[in-house]
């Protein structure tokens, strides 16, 4: 066996297993973080929320245990939500695809952390309509560290980048400055929309956690990502609302459609942009620079 090939395979297996175990941990975060009576590390062992059964290690293996137990608790036979498998699988896939684009670099870890935070936010917001601060502020601080440690000239804003460089700025300082500017503008753009909506309709249309979430997303994905992410997330949210309404989901549950969590849509749009944003911008700018004929 070729040593290089063997090494490459070993790294990919490790990247997949790492993603799987982080996904497994994120499941704990999703359940425990928004619940005041539970801490992330206390109790130490995972337990069945229905019967309190302490889950032994062999029933707690990512993906495998859920399949072997056919999605039911060994003790009370109560259902284990599909979410557990979904989040583990997402961890695995996100880890792999970020590794594919970034390699095994510092940025791989920053972006994988960022994407798993978005995953946790999505499921917490879907269930409880809150976005915990602990998933926002530490992620913002790490976003600033990432910007300073791994600076790279963005596709849009290259002129400003060149201008600052000529003015004697270091790359890390420009990158940090750009990420903080993106944070502020991301926050303000959604906050402004939320204020306008409230003035217009007389009630809140957006959660308090949504502007900080877009701020953090902008920090990692850059200023040019704000408008496309807002557009994409609103479009998907609108389509989902129409689909839910026409399927009669709200009437069946006796709910009126007053508010839907926007965090999952922002997160989804951010993940799409993470993988396809640069490609889209390259394509878009190539259109702009086409010679007129």
In the structure encoding, which two tokens stand for residue 135, read together?
Answer: 């998933």
Taking the complex as a whole, how short is the minimal distance between the CB of residue 127 and Zn ion, in angstroms?
19
Q: Is 140 in the site for Zn ion (CB under 5 A)?
A: no
Task: Record the tokens describing residue 65, joined without a space.
Answer: 């245990």
How far is the first Cα of the chain from the last one, in angstroms, to the nearest whole number? 55
Nearer to Zn ion, 75 or 278 (CB): 75
What beta strand segments (E) does the chain contain? none
Residues of this chain, 73-102, that bind Zn ion according to CB under 5 A: 73, 75-76, 78
Q: Rounded to the nearest whole angstrom, what is the least distance from the CB of residue 283 to Zn ion in the complex?
A: 50
Question: 51 or 255: whose CB is closer to Zn ion?
Answer: 51
Number of residues that bind Zn ion (CB under 5 A): 8
User: If binding is defined by CB under 5 A, does position 106 make contact with Zn ion?
Assistant: no
Name the residue nearer to Zn ion (CB basis): 77 or 249.
77
Could you give the C-alpha distances from 81 to 50, 66, 78, 154, in angstroms and in order?
Answer: 12, 9, 9, 40
The verdict on 280 binding Zn ion (CB under 5 A) reads: no
Residue 253: CB minimum distance to Zn ion, A: 25
Q: Which stretch binds Zn ion (CB under 5 A): 10-18, 66-74, 90-98, 231-239?
A: 66-74
Q: 28: which residues sit within 8 A by CB, 6+ positions away? A: 40, 46
Of the pair 74, 165, the CB lying nearest Zn ion is at 74
Q: Tell me how far apart the alpha carbons of residues 189 and 252 are, in angstroms, rounded to a whole number.
A: 35
Residues 18-57 that bind Zn ion (CB under 5 A): 48, 50-51, 53
Between 13 and 51, name the residue whose CB sits nearer to Zn ion: 51
Residue among 65 and 146 whose Cβ is closer to Zn ion: 65
Q: What is the C-alpha separation between 38 and 50, in angstroms, rounded? A: 15
Name residue 291's beta-bridge partners.
Answer: none
Tokens representing 168? 């004697």
Q: Three-class SS of residue 39? A: strand
What burial class does residue 149 get, using C-beta atoms within 10 Å of its C-beta: 0-12 exposed, 13-18 middle, 19+ buried? middle
CB of 38 to Zn ion, least distance (A): 16
Handedness of CA 161, 166, 172, 178 (dihedral sign): negative
- Binding positions for Zn ion, rule: CB under 5 A: 48, 50-51, 53, 73, 75-76, 78
């Amino acid at each position: 066996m070729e040593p290089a090939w063997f090494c490459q395979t070993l790294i990919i297996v490790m990247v997949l297993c790492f993603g799987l175990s982080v996904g497994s941990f994120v499941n704990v975060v999703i359940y425990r973080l928004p619940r005041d009576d539970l801490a992330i590390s206390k109790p130490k062992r995972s337990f069945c929320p229905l019967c309190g059964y302490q889950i032994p290690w062999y029933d707690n293996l990512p993906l495998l245990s859920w399949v072997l137990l056919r999605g039911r608790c060994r003790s009370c036979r109560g259902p284990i939500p599909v979410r557990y498998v979904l989040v583990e699988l997402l961890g695995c896939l996100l880890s792999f695809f970020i590794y594919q684009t970034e390699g095994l670099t510092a940025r791989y870890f920053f972006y994988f952390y960022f994407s798993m935070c978005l995953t946790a936010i999505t499921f917490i917001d879907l269930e409880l309509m809150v976005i915990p601060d602990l998933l926002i502020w530490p992620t913002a601080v790490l976003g600033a560290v990432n910007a300073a440690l791994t600076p790279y000239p963005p596709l849009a804003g290259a002129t400003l980048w060149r201008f600052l460089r000529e003015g004697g700025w270091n790359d890390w300082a420009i990158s940090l400055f750009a990420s903080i500017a993106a944070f502020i503008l991301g926050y303000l753009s959604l906050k402004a929309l939320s204020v306008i909506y409230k003035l217009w309709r007389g009630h809140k249309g957006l959660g308090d956690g949504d502007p900080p979430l877009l701020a953090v997303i902008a920090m990692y994905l850059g200023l040019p990502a704000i408008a496309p992410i807002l557009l994409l997330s609103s479009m998907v949210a609108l389509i989902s609302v129409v689909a839910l309404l026409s399927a009669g989901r709200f009437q069946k549950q006796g709910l009126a459609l007053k508010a839907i969590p926007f965090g999952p849509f922002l997160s989804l749009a951010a993940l799409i942009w993470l993988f396809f944003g640069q490609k889209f911008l390259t394509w878009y700018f190539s259109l702009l620079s086409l010679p007129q004929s």
